[in-house]
A = this chain, B = another copy of it.
Amino acid sequence: MNNQQLFENIQKKGSFLCVGLDTDIQKIPSFLLDTTDPVFAFNKEIIDATAAYTVAYKPNLAFYETEGLVGWRSLEKTVHYLRENYPDIFLIADAKRGDIGNTSTMYARAFFEKMQFDAITVAPYMGEDSVKPFLAYEGKYVILLALTSNKGASDFQFGVDNLSGEKLFEKVLRISQQWGDAENMMYVIGATKAEELTGIRKIVPSHFLLVPGVGAQGGSLQEVARFGLNNQCGLLVNSSRAIIYASNGPDFAEKAGESAKETRDEMFELLKNKGLLK
């Protein structure tokens, strides 16, 4: 996929929603536990109920790895199901990987070849050669952690560099642009710091930003759109728990669909007001 295709999907659906598939076997409706693969069964129903309102899905790898082999199988089935039935979906591996070059090459193969993800989240700490192997894939994206939505973000990401005067996350945004461009990189920017988006848009005006932290983590969609939208939308706003756990009963998929539709409707208005719909 490229930015223009992603933008067209956003226009078609009137949505820049990404649904986070943080599927926790301890939180899914208990009647699913009798099926052969409860996590996949849950994901399949959630996907079918939300796909009309969503341009991206983001399985969180930790939730699958925690179940070992069984979890890995649920993940592969979920990816396969999305690829077969919803080819337009932008599919993000929320994996926060990053290692020395030969190792990142292996991770790139795992997520871009073995499984057909479009993008993977990567941590910047180890620098250029830990990121580059992911950038070698045409039509695939690295989504680099810049400013995260958690409390611990303040431990290092706001430290000011004594040479450049930048905060660490600003330095990550600037330096990483020497490694790739808006067609193979995006950035994670936590929604809990929406006021930072003005400054961030000065450094990365045309990149897509993946924004977690709306909903359960307290970020505001209005604020994120106000400071973050660009002329190709440029935002993927993720919501996980508020959508996939909207109900714990037999209506879980229906309620997830309603919750996704509600978010889509709000996004539709924001896109329309910004003149971004056809």
Distance between Cα atoms of A276 and B155 in the complex (Å): 37
Copies in the complex: 2
Does A258 lie at the interface of the complex (its beta carbon under 8 Å from any beta carbon of B)? no
| Beta-carbon nearest neighbor of A107 in chain B | B62
- Interface size of A as a range: 35 or more
A130 contacts chain B at the CB level, 8 A cutoff: yes
Chain B nearest CB: distance from A144 CB in Å? Answer: 10
- Kindly identify which residue among B67, B68, B114, B145 contacts A125, using a CB–CB cutoff of 8 Å: B145
A62-B104, A62-B110, A96-B126 given; name 6 further pairs at CB < 8 Å: A62-B107, A66-B106, A67-B110, A69-B73, A126-B150, A159-B161
Query: Can you identify 30 A-B contacts, CB atoms within 8 angstroms?
Result: A22-B103, A24-B106, A60-B106, A62-B99, A62-B104, A62-B110, A66-B109, A66-B110, A66-B114, A68-B76, A68-B114, A68-B115, A69-B69, A69-B76, A72-B72, A96-B98, A100-B149, A123-B125, A124-B155, A125-B148, A126-B148, A126-B150, A127-B157, A128-B155, A129-B150, A129-B152, A156-B171, A160-B163, A162-B162, A168-B168
